[in-house]
Amino acid sequence: MVCDDGSTDGTAGILEEYARTQGLHYQVNPRNLGYIKNFEKTISLCSGDYIALCDQDDRWQPGKLQLLADGIGSHSLICSDAALIDGSGNKIAGSFRKYSRIHVPCRGRQTRSLTFNNYVMGCTSLFHRSDFISPLHPFPDNIPHDWWIAIITSMRNGIKYINKPLIEHRLHGNNTASIVRKRLFDDIRTCRKKFQANQNHLDTVMTIKFTFLLLNELEDRGLIDPWMISVKHDLQALLHDYDMTIMFSDHYHHKANLIILKYLNYFCPSPNPLVKMMFLIENLHK
């Protein structure tokens, strides 16, 4: 199922050809919905038991869908690692997980980890269509679709992760989500300079904003867990300081640092102490 969201490059003609020769189902949106709402619409039009997302010019490994369908079992969602290639198809990295230093949590900590960090790449995932029904639908306007799908499925029957790249994910200037390489040692000098220049934890503030929006959405739908309430209150207080334009005051630095330390295992769920040390170097203010 394909929904063309206002393309201008002749995609509709290609879709028509595939519909005629391969049985593809497609629609052309009368107006641009944006990627989140276009995913919501496309998924709602699917009728199979399983749904797999494909929205980029990636290369799928042979048998990807079969491996995911065979492995999902009773889980709500299954996803995998991905290799990374550039716009010309040249290899960048053999593992997205290692490249971006991502920690995949155990079953009991999936929701806590996903509250601050989304490790699920939508383009590697497959999930039960039944899990798209309320409370997943409708998608929030301001939370990336794969993060929303991941957090909801983690709260239902959980997520299974295959530690094997089943796609080659193409990185180029038009990707909706950016992927950042996080070296464990090579960037220590850069982090130290940022720390000395008081330029740290700006990215963390953005993460906090997205997390706060996510918790608000869960609360509005009656899905928020008790442990999330205290997290939401702490983040709300921090964002209040941020919005009061005292971001560069000593009071803000102190409070933000305390929040980062208090929720260190959320921001940086990896059990590796070196990874945690690097996170603190990257994100604490002096």
Tens digits of residue pLDDT in 114-167? 998 889 999 999 999 887 666 678 899 989 999 999 999 999 899 999 999 999
- Whether the predicted pLDDT of 182 surpasses 60: no
- Whether the predicted pLDDT of 201 surpasses 70: no
pLDDT value at position 194? 47
**Residue 22 included in any domain:** no
By residue range, what is the domain housing residue 256? Answer: 188-283
pLDDT tens digits, 217-259 = 999 988 888 989 988 888 887 777 665 444 445 555 666 777 7
Cα separation, 63 vs 178, in Å, equals 27
Give this prediction's pTM. 0.82
Cα angle 175, 189, 191 (rounded to 5 degrees) comes to 55
Residues of the chain with pLDDT > 70, as a percent, come to: 80
* Whether residue 123 is found in the same domain as residue 216: no
Q: Which of 57-61, 93-97, 280-284 has the lowest mean pLDDT?
A: 280-284
* Whether residue 194 is found in the same domain as residue 113: no
**Residue 177 included in any domain:** no
pLDDT category at 207 given cuts 50, 70, 90 is: confident
Residue 59 pairs in a beta bridge with 168
| Residue 179, both tokens | 């992927």
Pairing relationship of beta strands 126-128 and 50-52 according to DSSP bridges: antiparallel
Using only C-alpha atoms, the chain has a radius of gyration, in whole angstroms, of 20
**Residue 20 included in any domain:** no
Examine the fold and report which residue of 143, 170, 197 is the final residue of a domain before the chain moves on.
170
Average pLDDT value over all residues in the chain: 82
Cα angle 118, 122, 128 (rounded to 5 degrees) comes to 105
**Residue 218 included in any domain:** yes
Q: Give how many domains the chain has, as a whole number.
A: 2
* Whether residue 78 is found in the same domain as residue 52: yes
* Whether residue 257 is found in the same domain as residue 195: yes
CATH number of the domain bearing residue 53: 3.90.550.10
* Whether residue 54 is found in the same domain as residue 162: yes
- Whether the predicted pLDDT of 81 surpasses 90: yes
* Whether residue 205 is found in the same domain as residue 270: yes
Examine the fold and report which residue of 116, 142, 170 is the final residue of a domain before the chain moves on.
170
Cα angle 209, 145, 118 (rounded to 5 degrees) comes to 60
Residues of the chain with pLDDT > 90, as a percent, come to: 41
* Whether residue 52 is found in the same domain as residue 166: yes
**Residue 8 included in any domain:** no
* Whether residue 108 is found in the same domain as residue 60: yes
* Whether residue 86 is found in the same domain as residue 148: yes
**Residue 208 included in any domain:** yes
pLDDT value at position 42? 93
Residue given tokens 């959405």 in the structure block: 217
* Whether residue 62 is found in the same domain as residue 135: yes
| Residue 242, both tokens | 């941020």
pLDDT category at 174 given cuts 50, 70, 90 is: low
pLDDT category at 95 given cuts 50, 70, 90 is: very high
Q: Which of 86-90, 170-174, 191-195, 234-238 has the lowest mean pLDDT?
A: 191-195
**Residue 31 included in any domain:** no
* Whether residue 149 is found in the same domain as residue 207: no
Examine the fold and report which residue of 135, 170, 205 is the final residue of a domain before the chain moves on.
170
**Residue 4 included in any domain:** no
Over residues 49-56, the mean pLDDT reads: 89
- Whether the predicted pLDDT of 270 surpasses 70: yes
* Whether residue 152 is found in the same domain as residue 206: no
pLDDT value at position 243? 57
* Alpha-carbon dihedral angle through residues 145, 83, 71, 66, given to the nearest 10 degrees: 100
Pairing relationship of beta strands 77-85 and 59-60 according to DSSP bridges: unpaired
* Backbone phi and psi for residue 48, each to the nearest 5 degrees, phi listed first: -80, 170
